[in-house]
Structures are given as C-alpha cells and as structure tokens.
C-alpha cells in the first residue's frame, strides 16, 4: 500500500454478498468517491464479524476479506458516509488484539503509575 493512500471506513452496514464491482459501485454512488483513485475502502456487514477492503492500485482492483471466529469488528456508530483512519488504526482494526481491553490496561497502568 502506498504511503499517500487514504483509508476510509464506510459507515453503516454493507451487504457482504457484494463483490468488487458492487462495492466499487457503492463507493461511486453512495460515498461519492472514485474507487480507482488508490484509496482503501473498508466495509463491514451487519453481523460485524466480516470486513472487506477494496483497493485499486495501478494494476487493478483488489478485494481483501477478514472474518473473525469470535467477536465483532469495532465500528463507528454513524449510519452513512465515511470516516478517514490512519494506517496504524487499520493495523489495529485487523489485529487480533481487543482494543477495548488494551485501553482498560493502559488506563490502569496510568493510575498505578501515579
């Protein structure tokens, strides 16, 4: 992934039966963006256990999917539009680490350190 690529979370729930063409059409029509620009678009289904990432590089369109065996992907509560995130936030989103638990441990360490 190029360092200048923007990463967008598509808010709300997406029909996860959609493939590359359907998600690219959603980016164009619903999100009012160009899916061929080189940005990454992340979609989550209603159950929250599956995400798909759509990305177009100079050679073609790619579609990545990740399904959780347990739990759900953390997602903003807004119903539509997009939210930009950083590459490190994407790495956290894709990692098996529970970010809520990490935040609790971090807060506990800060309290103990005082």
- Within 8 A by CB and 6+ apart from 39, the residues are 5, 6, 7, 8, 33, 55
User: 44: burial class by Cβ within 10 Å (0-12, 13-18, 19+)?
Assistant: buried
58: confidence class by pLDDT, cuts 50, 70, 90 = confident
Token couple for 30: 């619903």
114: confidence class by pLDDT, cuts 50, 70, 90 = very low
Given this model, what pLDDT does residue 113 score? Answer: 45
**HEC readout, 20-41:** HHHHHHHHHHCCCCCCCCCCEE
61: confidence class by pLDDT, cuts 50, 70, 90 = very high
pLDDT tens digit sequence for 70-112 = 888 888 777 778 888 888 888 888 876 665 555 555 554 544 4
């Amino acid at each position: 992934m190029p360092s200048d690529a923007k990463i967008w979370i598509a808010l709300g729930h997406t029909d996860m039966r959609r493939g590359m063409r359907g998600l690219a059409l959603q980016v164009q029509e619903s999100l009012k963006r160009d899916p061929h620009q080189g940005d990454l678009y992340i979609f989550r289904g209603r159950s929250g256990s599956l995400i798909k990432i759509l990305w177009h590089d100079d050679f073609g369109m790619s579609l990545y999917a990740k399904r959780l065996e347990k739990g759900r992907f953390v997602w903003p509560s807004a119903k539509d539009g997009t939210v930009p995130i950083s590459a490190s936030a994407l790495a956290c989103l894709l990692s098996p680490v529970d970010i809520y638990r990490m935040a609790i441990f971090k807060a506990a360490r800060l309290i103990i350190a005082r």
